[in-house]
Amino acid sequence: MGGVRRRPLALTVALCAAAGACMLPGRALAVSPPQLSVRSAILVDQDTGQPLYGDHANQELPIASTTKLMTALLALEHVRLDQVFTQNDYEPAAVDSQIGLVPGERMSVHDLLLALLLPSADDAAEDLAYNIGHGSVARFIGMMNARARALGLNHTHYSTPAGLDTPGNYSSASDLVKLARYLLAHHPFFARVVALPSAVLRTGDHVRYVISTNDLVGRVPWITGVKTGHTLDAGYVLVGSGHKDGMTLISAVLGTSSESARDANTLTLLNWGFANFHLVTPVRAGSVRARPTVRYRAGVRADVIAARTYRQVVSRSTDLTTRVEVPHQLAGPLRSHAVVGTLLVLADGRTMARIPLLLASALPAVSPLTIAAGFITQPLMLLLLVAVLGIGITVIVRTRIRTRTRARARANRVRREAA
């Protein structure tokens, strides 16, 4: 199995998503690492893909029957579950994990996948590989390697569909978790199967009852999968998953010394993750984050919404806050979903993400008449108009009084002269 490393390192990660959100290193992930006895390990959040812990996570190692994850993926992508395959002339060794398929026996892809993923049957892997490879296991292995490259599994290479100790069959903890995460996200059938403690195979020459080699499933209520492996070169391997408090974590431990050590290290790693981290959603797409006023339109406010949802795993001790940066007043014309500001997500005062803020509805241009009306209705302008009107009225009244006084004076003069 190789030397066991007992001083793993917690990851301090700089995680930047393509959309522009960044997880900065610092207190958000600065927690004491778990104590494991493994050659390699990793822990990630399924929803975001965020790594929470790693110990030699990219080291290329034998992976035993966790190889069957790729065999399962190709089956799910290339054939139907109701298709029936005929077993080739494969004769597994007595020590190999198998369900006892005999040459010529016919079994559905559905049941072959159950046999592949639960009791980890090598003969089921051979059956799938031979038939999906159109009569060539070598062709199927080529498909496995091509799919690994397409998925970005840069530390993975296959030389067997089952995971036997053969030269050139290896992967890493990080690649195994990446592959498992892809399967769980894209193939509900896979997710259902790996969460089963047992199953019944009803096709084939006779009914078979199979039990999962992952004995954590069914024994630990929150464990949801995924796949075990064991060979002399690989030691005991387990890609595990668990769900608690709305968060799903995926782990991988490679090179453990026994089944009990495999299970113990997996539980330690997953429990550490759930105890120290939680998944938060401080921003949801479309949520109104500000309502600034609109220039020249008294009493009108514009709804400003978040451009996207932001989800992140942070340590439970992290103080998570948001800050809106939007002008107090907007002026049209502005199109719908125009960027008018930014929402900052802060972890312990440090910026984790910058989310664009968008105008929910278009703001049309304001007509000159509306501007004038708005200008006139301003309080200061109203006071000025009242004052001007008052002065005007006063002038008019005084003018009329003077005019009347002069008229009366002229009339009096005329009467005196006539007398």
The whole-angstrom separation of Cα 261 and Cα 39 is 12
CB 47 within 8 A of CB 247: yes
Contacts of 140 (CB under 8 A, 6+ apart): 74, 128, 129, 130, 132, 133, 161
Is 65 annotated as catalytic?
A: yes
Is 68 annotated as catalytic?
A: yes
Q: C-alpha distances in angstroms, 417 versus 117, 406, 411, 414?
A: 132, 17, 10, 5
Catalytic residue among 65, 97, 108, 171: 65
Q: C-alpha distances in angstroms, 357 versus 44, 109, 292, 334?
A: 29, 48, 12, 13
The whole-angstrom separation of Cα 170 and Cα 59 is 10
Catalytic residue among 40, 68, 174, 251: 68
Q: How many CB atoms lie within 10 A of CB 182?
A: 17
The whole-angstrom separation of Cα 249 and Cα 228 is 16
Q: What is the token pair recorded at 395?
A: 């002038």
The whole-angstrom separation of Cα 171 and Cα 160 is 12
- Distance between alpha carbon 287 and the CA centroid of its chain, in Å? 18
What Rg, from alpha-carbon coordinates, does the chain have?
Answer: 37
CB 183 within 8 A of CB 190: yes
The whole-angstrom separation of Cα 184 and Cα 279 is 18
Give the DSSP per-residue string, 340-394: EEEEEEEETTEEEEEEEEEESS-BPPPPHHHHHHHHHTSHHHHHHHHHHHHHHHH
Catalytic residue among 97, 108, 120, 171: 120
Is 120 annotated as catalytic?
A: yes
The residues facing 356 across adjacent strands are 342
Known catalytic residues are 65, 68, 120
